[in-house]
Structure formats: C-alpha cells, structure tokens
Amino acid sequence: MEFIKGGVCAAKGFSAAGAHCGVKSKNPDKKDVALIVSEKECSAAAVYTKNIVKAAPLLITKEHLSDGKARALIANSGIANACAPNGEKHAETMCAAAAKALGIEAKDVVVASTGVIGQELNIAAITENIDAVAALLSADEKGSDAAASAIMTTDTVKKEFAAEAIVGGKTVRLGGIAKGSGMIHPNMGTMLCFLTTDCAISPEMIKKALLETVKVSFNRISVDGDTSTNDMCVLLANGLAGNEEIGCEGADYDAFLAALKELCITIARAMASDGEGASHLITCQVKGAKTEESAETLSKAVISSTLTKAAIFGADANWGRVLCAMGYSGEEFDPDGVDIKFVSKAGEIEVCKKGRGLAFDEALAKKILTEHDITIDITMSEGDEKCTAWGCDITYEYVKINGDYRT
C-alpha cells in the first residue's frame, strides 16, 4: 500500500465540498457544512457510538443504511443535534435538502453532526445555503480539503489521508477525512470519520471490513475518557476501480482489509496526536500477553490513565503510574514479569525490570520524554500476543478548552 494525496476525492467517482453556512459561528472563514457524493450508488456501512445517548443523525443514518446502500453524505459542525429539539426532523431535513441539491433520493443520503449538545440545530442556515455548497463540489484534493475543514471543531489540524493498493489485479484507492480532538475514548473512538473507496465490494463484506478495522484503529485511541453521543464512521464503496466485486473472504478481501486498516490506523493516530491541548502523542505497546484481548485491555488502560498522561506532560519518567494502570485494568497477570521502557527519537531507557524499579539516568529520561512522540514499551511474561494503543498527555490547555466549550 502507498499513501497518496486526494483525501476522500482520491477514489474514482467521488467529489466533495465544504463551506460556511452560519450553523453556529458567524465567522465567514469557518466552514461548517460538508458534502461528499459519489457519481454512482455505493455499498455502504457505518459503525456508531456505544453511548446509550445517541444523536439524531445517527438514528437517521442507521435507517438510511438498512439496505447497505448510499450515494452521498452531509455533515455539519458547530451544533451536534443531540438531545436537541426537533433533532430527527432536522436530520431528515438535512438529508432531503442535500438530496434535492444533488438530484438523488433522500434515503440515499447519510447525515452527521458535531458540536454542542442540547442546542437546536440552525436548520435554516443549512437549507438556505445547501445549493451554494453543492455548487462547490470538486473531484480533486481541493474538495476533500474543504470538507475536512468543515467538520472540524476544536481540532487544530485537518485529518485527511488517502492511499492506493492492488486488489484483484486493479489499483484501488481509499480516502478518509475525520474530526476528533476531544471526547475521544475507545468504544468507537469518539469522532466522525468518512471513508471512500472505488473498490468493488458487497454491502455484507464492506460491513465486515469496517468492523474489523474499527477494532484495531479507532477503538484503540483515547484522549480524555469521554465517549460522545455523535460517534460515527461511514465507509462508501462505489466499485469504479473495476475489480471483481469482493463477495467473500479471500486474497482480494485480505488485500482490501489490510489497506483499510493501515489508512484508519493512520487517521486514529492523527486524532490522538491532536487531542485537545495535547503536547505529546503517546503510543503504548504491550508484548508478551496471554491473548490479544488482554494486551488490548492493558494498553488501553495505560493510555487512558490520567496520572500517566500527567506524567508524560511533565516529562516525568514515573513508570509506577504505568504499572498501576495495568493493575486496575481488570486483567490478571504477574506484575513480577513486567518490563517497562520509555522510547522516543531521543533514545530509550529501561525503568522497570520484572516489576521492580531500576536506577536510571533522570536527565536522559527527561530528554526522551520531551519529544512529541513517546512510546511506552511494555514486555510481559504471559504469552506471545501483543497490541498497540494510542493516546496523548493531559495539559492545562485541555481544561481551558473544555471549561467554556459551550459559551
């Protein structure tokens, strides 16, 4: 697989746009409505938040995807349309407005929102401007870039990636845009992510591929422990690459799945790195666990630990917080079989051996932990399985951002 430019427009037959409609912000430079559309019907699948409280757009999208098909997507930022007056009505109106502007049926449109919970959506801002947004649709990187900007809230950088791989003897392209900076925690990785591909794949197999991919990417990141009401990851596949449709497991499915996983892991890492107020990307690698599930639980516990996050923020090699997080994860293991190292491009330092602290160079440890990308490398003595999860540090800025998010 090779990474390329183009985002969601890298795949054949997709165009995108983003524009300011005034959903919440009056700043004309803040794009807040995005469109993505395929020139032909797509196999489609989505994965949603596990939060019991679900935003109206998720309920409507789930209904529209009941046949495994879709053609377009509309999303807004600023207002989440969750726990809000007229929520489902407004979500349906968004689909109908997009469908009319694109000349398709409303049931073929999926819808997403992100922003403040509880406030009624400014639906007029969308319906009155949707034609102008549709007029901006572009099949090149410009369209994807505008759509990626339109779904951002507290994000400081756009999450926009694309890749290509050989599937069934044909070059298949995949692209994705995402937003996610706060309210990020494993359970579908609190976020919006929109994925496109020109691979020919059945609705049943695209659903299977998305579920397998989410498990090892978006469900292995955490910023702050909060799982949102609006989590959604949508994958659209229009088949224009010309490969024989993937209808069952096999070499073609494996090739597509490998590319999708690599793309989504890259997006997931970008979300963790851009956590609200974050100054470090934390990677936790657990090796030598008895099962992959055990390794996943342990690595998630470490990257979700507030005390570990604080220690990394302070460049403090406080490995005891790592072992402590492992201990309350719910997994059974022998603490006396755990080794811990801190690693970055500045070097590596072993701080714990067989569950006991080692004498180490504090100055070197601080130098290592001052780098942006930090790896917590954990080796256990339970078995041969492993897992990697991603998170970020917690900083003063995180509290500032969320202290007045609504106002």
With tokens 């330092």, the residue in question is 349
Phi, psi torsion values for 217, nearest 5 degrees? -130, -85
Strand partners, 344: 347
Q: pLDDT tens for residues 123-135?
A: 999 999 999 999 9
Residue 240's pLDDT band, with cuts at 50, 70 and 90, is: very high
Q: Are 129 and 93 in contact (CB under 8 A)?
A: no
With tokens 């009155």, the residue in question is 128
Q: pLDDT tens for residues 144-159?
A: 999 999 999 888 889 9
Please, what is the average pLDDT of the chain? Answer: 93
Higher-confidence residue of 356 and 154: namely 356
Q: So which residues are the catalytic ones?
A: 190
Burial profile 138-151: b = 16 or more Cβ within 10 angstroms, e = fewer: bbebebbbbbbbbb
Task: Give the whole-angstrom CA distance, residue 136 versus residue 326.
Answer: 50
Cα distances (Å, whole numbers) of residue 38 to 109, 197, 257, 375: 11, 10, 21, 40
Q: pLDDT tens for residues 256-302?
A: 999 999 999 999 999 888 777 778 999 999 999 999 999 999 999 99
Whole-prediction pTM value? 0.90
The whole-number pLDDT of residue 260 equals 98
Burial class of residue 268 (count of CB atoms within 10 Å of its CB; 0-12, 13-18, 19+): buried
Q: Are 178 and 193 in contact (CB under 8 A)?
A: yes
Q: pLDDT tens for residues 46-72?
A: 999 888 889 999 999 999 999 999 999
Q: pLDDT tens for residues 362-376?
A: 999 999 999 999 999
Task: Give the whole-angstrom CA distance, residue 237 versus residue 232.
Answer: 17
Task: Give the whole-angstrom CA distance, residue 78 versus residue 297.
Answer: 33
The whole-number pLDDT of residue 156 equals 82
Handedness of CA 81, 42, 38, 152 (dihedral sign): positive
243: which residues sit within 8 A by CB, 6+ positions away? Answer: 167, 168, 169, 170, 172, 199, 200, 252
pLDDT reading at 317 higher than 80: yes
Residue 189's pLDDT band, with cuts at 50, 70 and 90, is: very low
The whole-number pLDDT of residue 369 equals 98
Task: Give the whole-angstrom CA distance, residue 49 versus residue 240.
Answer: 30
Residue 397 identity: E
Q: What does the pLDDT average to over 24-49?
A: 96
Task: Give the whole-angstrom CA distance, residue 276 versus residue 309.
Answer: 13
Residue 224's pLDDT band, with cuts at 50, 70 and 90, is: low
Cα distances (Å, whole numbers) of residue 214 to 48, 120, 147, 191: 10, 30, 22, 12
Domains, the chain: 2-273 (3.60.70.12), 281-403 (3.10.20.340)
Q: pLDDT tens for residues 73-125?
A: 999 999 999 999 999 999 999 999 999 999 999 999 999 999 989 999 999 99
Which is nearest to 285 in space by CA: 214, 340, 206?
A: 340
Which is nearest to 233 in space by CA: 246, 218, 245, 220?
A: 218
Which of 31-40, 127-136, 224-233, 348-357 is predicted with the least confidence, judged by mean pLDDT? 224-233
